[in-house]
Structure 1
Amino acid sequence: MAESKRDAAPARAPWPPLLILGALLAGRALDWLTGGALAGLVAFPGAALLGAFLVALALANDVWCATIFARLDTTILPHRAASRLATEGPFRFSRNPIYVSHVAIVLGLGLLLSSPFTVLLTPALAFALQKLAIEPEEQHLRAKFGDAYLAYMARTRRWL
């Protein structure tokens, strides 16, 4: 029996973890290949502390989001169909607070590890997340929740 568009998964692959890992590995590889030529971009007082703060804040946000998904009894997995619409907690400020966290984690790790290419690849990660994860999820959520999701989209930004 064919799966309806309303119940179909938003994507076939769990793109976010693959994209995050790819950005981190590519950033470190480019740092190594260039012999640290751009290290000055992330060599400022407090860079490592700022990076650690971003990572800690992003991880705390991820835990908060996971708690909301668990309470709503819906999936946190990006390649699975949602059963409920999360609009509370950090979802009041962003339709994608977990992806905001992912971008912050990569940026924070770039600063923490003094990896200029990881920092420079962060916008590319955000773009890839939007195209491969967020836009398909939005289509899924529009099909699944209709007017409720459209109203949520109208009052809540995609990123921040």
Structure 2
Amino acid sequence: MNIAVDAFHIKPQNFPWPPIHFAIALIAGFILRQVAPLAMAGGFTSEAIGATLIAFAIFVGVWAVFTMRGGDTAILPNRPARHLITRGPFRFTRNPIYLGYILTLVGCGLLTSDAWFFIAAMLTVMVMTLVSVRREEMHLLARFGAEFERYCRRTPRWL
């Protein structure tokens, strides 16, 4: 069987890991905050920025989902992409939903004045990149070739 054909039809992942990574990081942040807090200076400004970041993250995630639906492609990361989406929030980042997860974690850190959420955000970026993003990128490269390469050159993976 032709390797290119197999790569074209293979799913980017067998399980939708990114939302699970986010949920684990968020829960761990709240648990660690209770068990061994890493308090930071906070206050109204920090809380306002945190709440704004969380609201922005939700907006970006919803915008990305609607953009993907409008582009008739898979939303779940364990389904093959039918079309390469480069409009909407995908003009600014190749992973707007995942970026929303990270912004939510950072927002929680600012809102609660606890550094565990910043640590969770950094670890989540690393784990998502290693476990999911790179594999999804290989899937998109196999499906869309040079078009995906051009998109990668002009659009950052995260920010």
TM-score, L = length of structure 2: 0.90
Give the Cα separation in 1 of the matches to 2:122 and 2:102.
Answer: 8
8 Å Cα contact 1:9/1:79 also seen in 2: yes
- Look up the equivalent residue of 1:115 and give its one-letter code: D
Cα separation, 1, equivalents of 2:119 and 2:146: 38
How far did 1:119 drift? 2.3
- Which amino acid in the other structure matches residue 27 of structure 2? L
Partner residue, 1:151: 150
Give structure 1 stretches of 5+ with no counterpart.
Answer: none
Alignment match, 2:91: 92
Alignment of 1:11-160 (within 5 A): 11-34=13-36, 36=37, 38-39=38-39, 41-160=40-159
Contact in 2 for aligned 1:47/1:111 (Cα 8 Å): yes
CA change 1:133–1:42 in 2 (3 A) is farther
DSSP 3-state at the match of 2:9 = coil
Give, in angstroms, the shift of residue 99 of structure 1.
1.4
> Aligned equivalents of 2:65 and 2:28: distance in 1?
28
Q: Which 5+ residue runs of structure 2 have no aligned equivalent?
A: none
Q: How many residues align?
A: 157
Q: Report the Cα distance in structure 1 between the residues aligned to 2:61 and 2:29, rounded to whole angstroms.
A: 23
Question: What is the CA–CA distance in structure 2 between the aligned matches of 1:133 and 1:106, rounded to whole Å?
Answer: 18
What one-letter code is carried by the residue in structure 2 that aligns with 1:63?
A: V
Contact 1:11 1:79 in 2 (8 A): yes
Work out the CA distance in 1 between the residues paired with 2:67 and 2:114. 33
Amino acid at match of 1:67: F
| Offset, 1:7 | 1.5
Please give the per-residue CA displacement for 1:48-69, whole angstroms capped at 9, x wherever unaligned: 1111100111111111111111
Whole-Å separation in 2 of the counterparts to 1:77 and 1:85: 14
Identity of aligned pairs, percent? 37
Q: Extract structure 1 runs of 4+ deviating beyond 3 A.
A: none
**What secondary structure, in the 3-state scheme, does the structure 2 residue paired with 1:87 have?**
coil
Q: Partner amino acid for 2:12?
A: P
Deviation, structure 1 residue 42: 4.8
Give me the whole-angstrom Cα distance separating, in 1, the residues matched to 2:78 and 2:147.
21
